[in-house]
Structure 1
Amino acid sequence: MQNYKRLLLLICLTAPVWVFAQINVSGTVVDSKNNPIQFASVKIKNSNAGTSTDASGKFSLTIPGKGGVLDVTFVGYKATSANVSAPTTDLVITMQEDVGHLEEVVVTGLASSTKRANVAHAVGVVSAKQLVGTTPQATVDAALYGKFPGATISSNSGAPGGGISIKLRGITSLVGNSQPLFIVDGVYYDNSSINSGQNFISKAANQGSTNFQENPSNRIADLDPEDIERIEILKGASTAAIYGARASTGVVIVTTKKGKSGKPRIELGQSIGWQMQLRKLGMRTWDTAKVRATYGASGLTLYNANGGKTYNYEDELYGVHGFMNNTRVAVSGGSDKTSYYAGMTYQDNQGIVKHTGYRKTSFRVNLDQAVTKFLDLSVNANYVESNADRGYFNNDNTGTSMGVAYVSTPSWVSLYPDANGNYPNNPLGPSNWMQTRDLSKHNETVNRMLLGGRATWKVIKNNMHDLKIIALGGIDYYTLNTKEIFPQVLQFEKNGNGTNGALLYGTTVTRNDNYSALAVYELNPNNGMIFTTQAGVNAINNNLNTIVNTATQLIGTQTNIDQAGAIQVEENRIISKDRGFFAQEEVNYKDMVIGTVGIRGDKSSRNGNADKLYYYPKFSLAFNATSLLDVKALSLLKVRGAYGEAGNFAPFGAIYSPLVPINFNGTTGSIVDVTRGDANLKPEKQKELELGLDAGVLNNRISVEFTWYKKDVEDLILKVQVPTSTGFSTGWQNVAAIQNHGVEIGLNAVPVLTKDLRWNAQLNWWKNTAKVTRLDVPAFNVGAFGASLGTYRIEKGKSPTQIVGIGDANDKVDPLTNLATFGNAEPDFNLSFNNNVTWKNFELNVLMHWKQHGDNINLSSLLSDFGGTSADYDKKSLDPKGILVNGDYRIASFGHTARPFVEDASYFRVREIGLSYTFPKELFKDIARVKIGFSGRNLINVFKYNSYDPEVSNFGIDAISSNVEVTPFPSSKSFHFNVSVTF
């Protein structure tokens, strides 16, 4: 008892010493030019305690005990540290810029990452500043144009609300999904493009090769670009293999913003601007001779009755200067145990066509909590509500869409309503496009909730061992409502011309969830070797249900489905369940030799055998010779190689022979469809070898990345003809293979670096070449609208994106097929050039993009020729003999050669340009950082392509035919005035 009292007395006497022993530190974080770095992270080493610098680069914190080490990090700068052993109020910490981004941390596994300098594969990274720092972006997909190598991007429409195709390193499927897999904060993000049923009116798919002709948007458009911290693009199979059977088309990993310890940070942003038609083609000029030649005597009577007056219908349809408004509010901060981020964005963008536009409200909350010393929790939530009015465009076989009706109507026919609002019938076509624009409705509304969570249990952590158990998962739930209203007053609906009015109401309910459990063990025996082992299991469930109700024979002006004489319902359900495991080992020897080996096993209900595991291995090795060479000017010299495999599912339902409903003599039932399923169908598999070299000199002021790859995509799935003796006419089979090989080169440089002036330049060049290496069926045409107009042909030994068609005596025709090759959708190369120049408080950003060759099938010109309205109709630039004008030449070619319909889609454009000015902080007493600017998108465009934009296609999301256009909604250019305030 006496000893106990003495121990208690000793504790009481010494407690003030060890409880209150602490050091107060304050200072400033600056760059090499002594400019303050705001919002840099300052943490106490081996602790969660820390803070972040304010708008003036200042910080203050308390270090318990007798001192310690401060770790300072900030994106774009090399991590640094400072020893603190005594109280100080004027500590200055200088950070050196990470010119080559070698300190940047990139993903190497499902739960591991490493410095960019150590990775053994090509890395595509888009930062928050690159994504939206120059120009406000309505959608994430639009923001990705030209910002990373290895991608071919095309839009399936210029309509508001997004809708693009991203193909990474070439064609990876012939009929399957061609879009990369999106992962947002660990949640598998649905990016479906869902049709509205518009084909019921347009009949577009009656002759085309695909159903993707209804101008659908992508659901990645729901993600708010302002919320994103960084995007990593896993282009190669060696990196995507860890995601297994869903990753052969590549993986896009999106990380959203998080809070940092320190006082609350408040960001306010406002942008207003206008968007307008990217390029005007102009109108054909008319006289009586041209009218008589095109429309005959009856047309001349109409022309004279109107007194020869013409109207600028191009401006009438596409001439709206759409107002664009973007409002942003975000709050972030935290303590040593808790960090939070909350953001809200409201967008309201009017389209360039009357009654079109895009409105979106997005809320995001991210919360990170250190529950105990050994347990961390992270939760993120995102709610999005969007509303898009996309118009009625793209191909149709009824002449009723606005684009087709516009090019079919000469400018001397009046389509304007009378004083009572009654629209005249179009005397030369089935549709008055002005009436369709003003009276029909084409809307899609989305309500989406994304929830994700991550729990990390730090089982062991010491100098040698670090073991973590991680559980993560998420739910992606949304409803999409589409509305197509074609009132009975429309010319093509009344008087027996159509269905006396039509309503098409679609509802899609999607619920996707994914769950993973994994362990990560790091062994550091302090001999220069570091071993990182990870293994785990995961489950992915998808459920998409689309119901389209079509009502016709409407009662008066009613828009309720039940107020109609005829109603039909179609339902499409896509349900899949995937289960898998993964394991990976990474070995790092003194950042000099870095090797990785891993494997993923997946099984799925979409495979012929739902219980069979398919395996996807990966291997990579990097050797960093920088330290061995001991060359002062050399900052980095690394050689690397990687190999990996990844998969792609068959189209949903391809393993089954479907049943179709039938009504026979009043009795309902089902009969077997003519397409046979294949119970032995295997997933498509990609195998890729990648080799590369990374080098940097002068402290990485100049650095280069070179990558060569060869990618074989095997067991490609096609619907092929089968012997009729089987009872079927077609069936799904694994019958083809494609090989892609290409080169990607990236050059980063800081050509100018002075106290006041800095110029950062990034140049990316890439190309891909593909050919069909296996084809177990006869060569066939696919996509587009047939050989007379130009189509794609799948043929062994040839490119899968070659464009062929019928030819005449001037064309080199294959005698076996009677077809000529007119081009290839694959470009010769792409080159992007991004520049960032800062001078004092001014900043200039310019992003340029050059695409060399790559052909489109342009059918907009032919349709306008048939209407006699082509702007270039009377020019003589196409006929080799110099006899026929362009319009007559294209019409005369129809049915004889597809040559004039295949056009070079090269372009050069300034995708983004922005100039901003940051006010001196003294003006606002160091309380706020205020920045104003002007920016523009697609303001400069140079191309000879004979339409509105060579990047817009009717089949943007299709695997093959993504370079075909038939009067799509044109693209826009825009300019914006921006102001942001950060407290």
Structure 2
Amino acid sequence: SGGTDNTQYFASATAKDDGGIIANTGFKRQAVRLNLDQRLGSRVRATLNTNYTHTVAQRGLTNNDNTGTSFYVVLSATPSFVNLGKLPGDTFALNPFVPSNPVQTAALMKNDEDVWRFIGSLNAQWDAVQAGSHYLRFIATGGLDQFSQQNSLFFPPELQFEPNDGEPGTSLLTNSDNLNFNVNASAVHTYTPSSNAFSATTSIGLQHAHRELNVARITSRNLTAGQEIVSAGTNIQITEERSEIKDLGFFAQEEFLADQQRLLLTAGIRADQSSLNADATKLYYFPKASGAYRFRNPTSWIDELKVRGAYGESGNEPLYGQKFTGLRITGKVGGVAGTVAGDTTGAKDLRPERDREFEGGIDATLWGSRANLEFTVYQKNVSDLLLPRQLAPSGGVNFEIVNGGNLRTRGVEAALGLVPLQKSDLTWLFRTTFSLNRSLITELPLSSFIAGGFGASIGEFRIEQGASPTQMVGNDTLTTADIASGQYPGHAVGDIVVRKIGDANPDFRMSFTNDITYGRLSLHFLLDWQHGSDILNLTRLLYDFGQVTPDYANPIPGKTETVGEHRLAGFQVVSKNYVESATFLKLREVTLTYDLPATFMHSLWSGARYGRLSVSGRNLLTSSPYTGLDPEVSNFGNQAVARNIDVAPFPPSRSFWFSVELGF
């Protein structure tokens, strides 16, 4: 980094190579970053930010497969005494329990994801008016995010499971190209009278966003001579998906600052249109307003107290294609491909969901800036939910995407920062955060429906009026107490019903961050605590099926069945047998840093500014009643609903780092 008064620059290059904890897995990344800031005279300024990244991810073969091929699904049915290792002659032992050898699969298969990505932005500012009480600035910003991703998977014919489908050898090639482009133009005017009694800032502008995605997939089976190229197969399938989205938005905002900068009032409105809506030309309006007031030294121990409140609305767009009735390609007739209508269509007035959120809170600085407190309560109401409505099969379409229903979320967020110890050579900074929220479906114009999972016999997520959107439901067997409660009229003891068996939403979450500095030494560590939340542990179910769960053979006092047999006896009738607590306390990160003396650095090179050595570890310790690998597991990825399901995941790992940082 460096530059002059008119030109500043920053450049960096990084390279990362993380070895995986499974054979032939890992992650590599190389990145180059360049930022330029240029003044063109006294009123014009331009800023260019660029970032070019290349990554290669090798993920192996984990999670649910329903075919008995992924590593941990196979191991769940394979006793530990079975030899799956390499034999003389570069061959592998056959698995006598499952037609797949995970050691062989890990050694010979390939699952590579290669991504090239460029992110860039250009910002230009022109201070058009700087006269007396008036200040006018024009701002133009453009951004580009482009990536090309290639996924290459190869399963050679010699893998034990490959001949099972009669077409030994499989090669898959996926190429994805994505382009996101946006421009933003705005004008900002500030009026400040000569008395400085207040300032009023007016902002108006527009935004345009354009998104394109093209995904082409080739699946090739029965590979000739086991070649990896997709053209070597005798059974080749090709699919392609394309999407294009255009958004246009307008905004206006007024900001009023008065009473010696203690009072801040803001009001604004935004209007958006999108090609994802049924009417791509219709504008939807989203207002906002906020206010805050700062009290300076209201008491001897409060330096400043800010009271704030805000209200705002925003929209969640429909997904691409939901407003259309898609076409699917069928088999060829007379050499001509046929098409049939898809099973889903969109309502004629399909529109974005509307979020209305109100929040209020306080921010306080205490005891001579030795402490700060933040506290916020909020309520968010989402109306016009995008929902799938089931239609009569005779109409030719099974589902229609419609707007309807309401979701309410209430929550509390708090943060406390302290300086418990501050001396000339010793400082201790402490910060903790707290958050909780509760969500409820307050209105649902449709029948309850499933939002993820593997059926009521195992456990699933159900959306229904009057219930949490993150609730888990499953089969359960009624007891004498259930019948006595009167909640199940017409049922008898032993009947199987579908009811709530858990909830993925935690009771609360907290974090604790500590930074201790003693002379040239610095110690940083982070603790993360989650209380509550349930997980559907289907990995344990798989291992129970194979009778290889660690506690499967443990006896139950007073009963003839073992612990594992008892769990399996409830399969499909007592789904909660595989629901576990996701409460945890994690030591996320510990870092110890030593700043080298300046005299030592200058003795090495006069141009050296500083030197720093550090040792760090991540994901070091976890305390949890959960019996799986990680209480934060999510079989279906990072999503709000249907998160907490564990099905043979890629195992978490600890990492340790030694770093040398030099400044010149």
Give the TM-score normalised by the residue count of structure 1: 0.64
Give the 5 Å matches for 1:20-169. none
SS class of match (1:556):
helix
Contact 1:656 1:679 in 2 (8 A): no
Specify the code of the residue in structure 2 equivalent to 1:504: L
1:825 maps onto 2:504 in alignment: yes
Counterpart CA distance in 1 for 2:643 and 2:300 is 49
- Picking from 392, 395, 400, the partner of 1:726 is 395
Counterpart CA distance in 1 for 2:412 and 2:290 is 18
When structure 1 is superposed on structure 2, of 728-737 and 679-688 the one drifting more is 728-737
1:850 maps onto 2:529 in alignment: yes
The residue aligned with 1:981 is 662
1:942 maps onto 2:623 in alignment: yes
Give the 5 Å matches for 1:595-614. 595-614=265-284
1:873 maps onto 2:542 in alignment: no
The residue aligned with 1:54 is none
- Picking from 537, 543, 552, the partner of 2:206 is 537
Contact 1:447 1:480 in 2 (8 A): yes
The residue aligned with 1:921 is 598
Counterpart CA distance in 1 for 2:405 and 2:45 is 48
1:426 maps onto 2:95 in alignment: yes
When structure 1 is superposed on structure 2, of 579-588 and 883-892 the one drifting more is 883-892
The residue aligned with 1:520 is 188
Counterpart CA distance in 2 for 1:339 and 1:694 is 35
SS class of match (2:585):
strand
When structure 1 is superposed on structure 2, of 418-427 and 681-690 the one drifting more is 418-427
The residue aligned with 1:9 is none
Give the 5 Å matches for 1:216-295. none
1:656 maps onto 2:324 in alignment: yes
1:708 maps onto 2:384 in alignment: no
Q: What CA RMSD, in Å, does the superposition of the two structures yield over aligned residues? A: 1.6
Cα deviation, residue 559, structure 1 = 1.1
Q: CA deviation digits over 1:518-574, x for unaligned, max 9? A: 001111113320111111011000001111101111001211111110111111112
Cα deviation, residue 959, structure 1 = 3.7
1:757 maps onto 2:426 in alignment: yes
Specify the code of the residue in structure 1 equivalent to 2:192: N
Counterpart CA distance in 1 for 2:60 and 2:488 is 44
The residue aligned with 2:244 is 575
Shift in CA distance, 682/880, structure 1 to aligned 2, threshold 3 Å? farther
Cα deviation, residue 430, structure 1 = 2.2
Counterpart CA distance in 1 for 2:288 and 2:27 is 42
The residue aligned with 1:337 is 6
1:635 maps onto 2:303 in alignment: yes
Specify the code of the residue in structure 2 equivalent to 1:788: S
Specify the code of the residue in structure 2 equivalent to 1:822: I
When structure 1 is superposed on structure 2, of 742-751 and 520-529 the one drifting more is 520-529
The residue aligned with 1:446 is 115
Cα deviation, residue 874, structure 1 = 2.3
SS class of match (2:162):
coil
The residue aligned with 1:692 is 361
1:908 maps onto 2:577 in alignment: no
The residue aligned with 1:388 is 57
Q: CA deviation digits over 1:771-800, x for unaligned, max 9? A: 101111112233110111111111111101
The residue aligned with 1:899 is 576
Give the TM-score normalised by the residue count of structure 2: 0.95
Specify the code of the residue in structure 1 equivalent to 2:543: S
SS class of match (1:846):
strand
Contact 2:478 2:497 in 1 (8 A): no
Q: CA deviation digits over 1:356-377, x for unaligned, max 9? A: 0000000000000001111100
Counterpart CA distance in 2 for 1:930 and 1:886 is 57
Counterpart CA distance in 2 for 1:729 and 1:561 is 35
The residue aligned with 1:69 is none
Cα deviation, residue 687, structure 1 = 0.6
The residue aligned with 1:958 is 639
Q: CA deviation digits over 1:634-672, x for unaligned, max 9? A: 211111100001111112101011111122533322111
Counterpart CA distance in 1 for 2:562 and 2:535 is 22
Specify the code of the residue in structure 2 equivalent to 1:397: N
Counterpart CA distance in 2 for 1:536 and 1:714 is 27
Counterpart CA distance in 2 for 1:665 and 1:507 is 29
1:457 maps onto 2:126 in alignment: yes
Specify the code of the residue in structure 2 equivalent to 1:896: V
Specify the code of the residue in structure 2 equivalent to 1:502: T
Counterpart CA distance in 2 for 1:965 and 1:451 is 38
Cα deviation, residue 880, structure 1 = 9.6
Give the 5 Å matches for 1:287-326. none
The residue aligned with 2:492 is none
The residue aligned with 1:772 is 441
1:862 maps onto 2:530 in alignment: no
Contact 2:482 2:488 in 1 (8 A): no
Counterpart CA distance in 2 for 1:790 and 1:812 is 20
Contact 1:956 1:963 in 2 (8 A): no
Cα deviation, residue 498, structure 1 = 4.8
Specify the code of the residue in structure 2 equivalent to 1:715: D
Alignment coverage as a number of residue pairs: 647
Specify the code of the residue in structure 2 equivalent to 1:891: L
Contact 1:607 1:683 in 2 (8 A): yes
Counterpart CA distance in 2 for 1:460 and 1:885 is 82
Cα deviation, residue 492, structure 1 = 1.3
Contact 2:477 2:497 in 1 (8 A): no
1:930 maps onto 2:611 in alignment: yes
Q: CA deviation digits over 1:119-167, x for unaligned, max 9? A: xxxxxxxxxxxxxxxxxxxxxxxxxxxxxxxxxxxxxxxxxxxxxxxxx
SS class of match (1:852):
strand
Cα deviation, residue 463, structure 1 = 4.6
The residue aligned with 1:470 is 139
1:748 maps onto 2:417 in alignment: yes
Contact 2:170 2:223 in 1 (8 A): yes
1:499 maps onto 2:167 in alignment: yes
Cα deviation, residue 478, structure 1 = 0.8
Shift in CA distance, 747/882, structure 1 to aligned 2, threshold 3 Å? farther
Specify the code of the residue in structure 2 equivalent to 1:739: R
SS class of match (2:231):
coil
Identity of aligned residues (%): 37
Shift in CA distance, 567/718, structure 1 to aligned 2, threshold 3 Å? same
Q: CA deviation digits over 1:595-631, x for unaligned, max 9? A: 110111110000000000011111000011226x3x3
Which ranges in structure 2 are unaligned for 5 or more consecutive residues?
490-495
The residue aligned with 1:289 is none
1:405 maps onto 2:90 in alignment: no
Cα deviation, residue 460, structure 1 = 1.1
Contact 1:636 1:700 in 2 (8 A): no
Contact 1:492 1:498 in 2 (8 A): no
Cα deviation, residue 976, structure 1 = 1.4
Shift in CA distance, 429/702, structure 1 to aligned 2, threshold 3 Å? same
Counterpart CA distance in 2 for 1:554 and 1:458 is 65
Specify the code of the residue in structure 2 equivalent to 1:930: G
Shift in CA distance, 783/540, structure 1 to aligned 2, threshold 3 Å? same
The residue aligned with 1:835 is 514
| Larger RCO of the pair (alpha carbons < 8 Å, separation 6+) | 1
The residue aligned with 1:591 is 261
Cα deviation, residue 812, structure 1 = 4.9
Counterpart CA distance in 1 for 2:363 and 2:554 is 51
- Picking from 275, 282, 288, the partner of 1:618 is 288
When structure 1 is superposed on structure 2, of 789-798 and 351-360 the one drifting more is 789-798
Q: Which runs of 4+ in 1 moved over 6 A?
A: none
Shift in CA distance, 812/737, structure 1 to aligned 2, threshold 3 Å? farther
Contact 1:952 1:970 in 2 (8 A): no
When structure 1 is superposed on structure 2, of 521-530 and 791-800 the one drifting more is 521-530
